[in-house]
Amino acid sequence: MKVLGVIPARYGSSRFPGKPLIDLKGKSMIQRVYEGAKQCTLFEEVVVATDDQRIFDAVHMFGGKAMMTSQSHPSGTDRCAEVAKTYPQMDVVVNIQGDEPLVDFRQLEQLIKAFDDRETQIATLGNKSVSMDDLLNPNRIKIVVNKAAEAIYFSRSPIPNFHHAKQDPLSSYPYLRHIGLYAYRSTILSELTALEPTALEQTESLEQLRWLYHGYAIKVVETTIETPNIDVPEDVEKVLNLL
């Protein structure tokens, strides 16, 4: 099985413009993500997919591989699909979020091994270490899965709702927090980018709800490895303390 790692990286993030190039103790965030991904020996190739010349140049400056992609892509998935077209020999494509500077190669290995099952179409990660702050934080995505460990729903809200819980909700239900790494069969990835957006996706601002709506199965691999991302400027200090 041949696996391609793609790191989508935009400069113009609405919540944190220029985020991929922020300095994290002497290295840009995109360099830390790239170097973390390269530690996974299951990748044939790792490529940064960007639409910004500054990011493209920064990646080449530290010796990484980058590809300029269309500025019209609405999501990182679409950016991954454009890169994947230039690597038709790849069986699986892994979407490595460009705001995960502490990405751990063991997480990536867990994700990729989900495709040892030939039925797996899409895979992602979930962590059962959930605090009440996580439950209430709309930037921390929660997942509900079925008995086959496939996603039923993703939400920015606490799901299931604990309004009627008779005890501490964290002790009454095994909440699962999403870790934003995705992997797709190459054939499935090209299909996903052709799907029309849905009201669910637009309401939650979560593109994976489009895939569920159209009937694709998302395998959720449980991991205990914690890698905090940088979503907003307030997250930077937490990552700096861990470096």
Residue 52 — pLDDT band, cuts 50, 70, 90?
A: very high
Instruction: Report the pLDDT value the prediction gives residue 119, as an integer from 0 to 100.
Output: 95
Q: Which comes out higher in pLDDT, residue 231 or 76?
A: 76
pLDDT at 61 over 80: yes
Nearest in space to 69 (alpha carbons), one of 23, 109, 9: 9
Nearest in space to 102 (alpha carbons), one of 235, 221, 3: 235
- Alpha helical stretches, state H, 98-198: 105-113, 132-136, 169-172, 186-192
Q: Which string of b and e fits 34-60 if b means at least 16 CB within 10 Å?
A: bbbbeebebbeebbbbbbbeebbebbe
Residue 44 — pLDDT band, cuts 50, 70, 90?
A: very high
- Give the CATH number, domain containing residue 154: 3.90.550.10
Per-residue tokens: 159: 């799901």
What is the C-alpha separation between 64 and 47, in angstroms, rounded?
8
Residue 48 and residue 59 in contact, taking contact as beta carbons nearer than 8 Å: yes
138 cis-preceded (ω within 30 degrees of 0): no
What is the C-alpha separation between 136 and 173, in angstroms, rounded?
15
Instruction: Dump strand ranges (E) for 106-222.
Output: 122-127, 142-145, 151-155, 176-185, 218-222
pLDDT in tens, 67-90: 999 888 888 899 999 999 999 999
Instruction: Give mean pLDDT, residues 153-161.
Output: 94
Q: Residue 163: give the domain boundaries.
A: 3-242
Please state the φ and ψ torsions of residue 54, each to the nearest 5 degrees. Answer: -65, -40
pLDDT at 144 over 90: yes
Q: How far is CA 13 from CA 17, 20, 29, 129, 168, in A?
A: 5, 9, 14, 28, 36
The total number of structural domains in the chain stands at 1
Type of residue numbered 142:
K
pTM (predicted TM-score): 0.92
pLDDT in tens, 89-142: 999 999 998 888 999 999 999 999 999 999 999 999 999 999 999 999 998 899
What is the C-alpha separation between 110 and 105, in angstroms, rounded?
9
- Sign (positive/negative) of CA torsion 117, 119, 123, 125? negative
Per-residue tokens: 43: 């990748």
pLDDT in tens, 171-230: 878 999 999 899 999 999 999 999 999 999 999 999 999 999 999 999 999 999 877 788
pLDDT at 14 over 70: no
Q: Which comes out higher in pLDDT, residue 100 or 49?
A: 49
Instruction: Report the pLDDT value the prediction gives residue 6, as an integer from 0 to 100.
Output: 98
